[in-house]
Amino acid sequence: MKLLKLTFGILFLLSVTSCVTTLPLNQQFYNSKKVGVILQVDSIGMAKAGGQGLLDMALTPGNRFTEPLKKVEPKFNLNETLKSEITSILNSKNKQFQFITEKNDYETLNKFEKPNSDKKYSKKDFTKFKTINNVDEIMYVKVKYGILVSYYGMIELDKQGYVNIGTEVVDLSDNSLLQQENFQTVAKMNGNWKKGEDFENLKNSIQDAINNSITTLKMKF
């Protein structure tokens, strides 16, 4: 399934994830070094998948999903859920860590100039966090979630709850990657998305996708 370009806000499109380097976790990560965890959970939104031209995209903006998504968003508290899960994962491995709660925007980080080396490096320069936060590594977790609508042109084919998680683990001594993953989980909608008390079908589908994504996240670490 081809994923289309990305925009932000209550309506956004999923980016193509094939361009992201997949690098399984280097077991060097489970050493005595301290990792700073940056967790960025975007506001709930609508994502599109499938084949659409520019006109098709313009005529299917997804505005009708905005209010229902806003209504179910408080039911999840996804930031705290993932914070708890990450805490559990790292504690189980006896890994020293701290959450970095200062406001950070990945997009505004400086671009990293890759040295002449066979190592894989983050495209963004995370090294400033070593001194500012007194950590040796960074675990950056970026999360998008909501409803995924599949299209053929302007025709809606399917609707699913979904979660997309991208992770990077960076060694701050040289900004090299110890891990990089991007994965998406989806869950079917049992019944009409807008039916049920307080959009119950929509909420349940997104919750199922969240549960599935947490299972996958645990497998990655």
Predicted TM-score (pTM) of the model is 0.85
Cβ atoms of residues 97 and 35 within 8 Å: yes
pLDDT at 74 over 90: yes
Cβ atoms of residues 205 and 163 within 8 Å: no
pLDDT tens for residues 113-158? Answer: 989 888 999 999 999 999 999 999 999 999 999 999 887 776 767 8
Q: Which of 5-14, 70-79, 147-156, 198-207 has the lowest mean pLDDT?
A: 5-14
**The pLDDT of residue 108:** 87
**The pLDDT of residue 13:** 42
From the CB of residue 31, how many other CB atoms can be counted at a distance below 10 Å? 12
Average per-residue pLDDT in the chain? 85
Listed residue (219, 191, 51, 81) closest to 145, CA to CA: 81
Task: For the chain, give the percent of residues with pLDDT over 90.
Answer: 65
Strand pairing category for 176-188 and 155-171: antiparallel
**The pLDDT of residue 59:** 47
**The pLDDT of residue 157:** 75
**The pLDDT of residue 53:** 58
Task: State the pLDDT confidence band at 20, using cuts at 50, 70 and 90.
Answer: low
Task: State the pLDDT confidence band at 52, using cuts at 50, 70 and 90.
Answer: low
Mean pLDDT, rounded, for 56-60? 54
**The pLDDT of residue 130:** 96
Burial class (CB in 10 A: 0-12, 13-18, 19+), 132: exposed
Handedness of CA 182, 129, 12, 72 (dihedral sign): positive
